Amino acid sequence: MNQALNEILPDDSAQDLEALQGAWEQVAFEENGVLDPPDDHGAPGALTMINGQHFAVRTREGDLLLEGAFTLDVSVTPKAIYWVDSIGSDAGKKLPASYELDGDHFAFIAGDEGAPRPVEFQTVPGQTMRTFVRR
């Protein structure tokens, strides 16, 4: 295990954090109960790069769409992830989310700031779900 990541999160969350490192391509998007609506923070072929607890979403051409930081909590079911965007309309907001990570497949469902953390992987108004595969 990467010692630096283990020092950031000395619990079981460090294992998932290490597994998330690298490039992820979004393959599905659902928002407010609608499959594949227009997506302001993603684009066909866009890659999400995870480095430590930082993420950046870029188009194929390298244009930055979104970036920020996150924290993991594997002590709850489903596992929790909290996103904080550093740019865009949600900048500075702590967005509660749940995630699934299985090898090269990663999915999360996030709610609006102040809302309860979603625990079912199907959106309702005020929720966003993204599914990725490793690249």
CATH number of the domain at 24, please.
2.40.128
Domain range for 127: 3-134
Q: What is the pLDDT of residues 18-39, one digit of tens each?
A: 999 999 999 999 999 999 898 8
SS3 101: strand
In Å, the largest CA–CA distance within the chain is: 41
* Domains held by the chain: number: 1
Give pLDDT tens digits for 71-116. Answer: 999 999 999 999 999 999 999 999 999 999 999 999 999 999 999 9
The H or E element that residue 98 is part of is strand 94-102
Residue pair 13/69 in contact (Cβ under 8 Å)? The answer is: no
How crowded is residue 100: how many other Cβ atoms within 10 Å of its Cβ? 13
In order of 29, 70, 108, the CA distances from 122 in angstroms are: 11, 21, 10
Residue 9 has pLDDT above 60, yes or no: no
Q: What is the pTM of this model?
A: 0.87
3-state secondary structure of 78: coil
Q: Quick check: helix, strand or coil at residue 3?
A: helix
* Averaged confidence pLDDT in the chain: 90
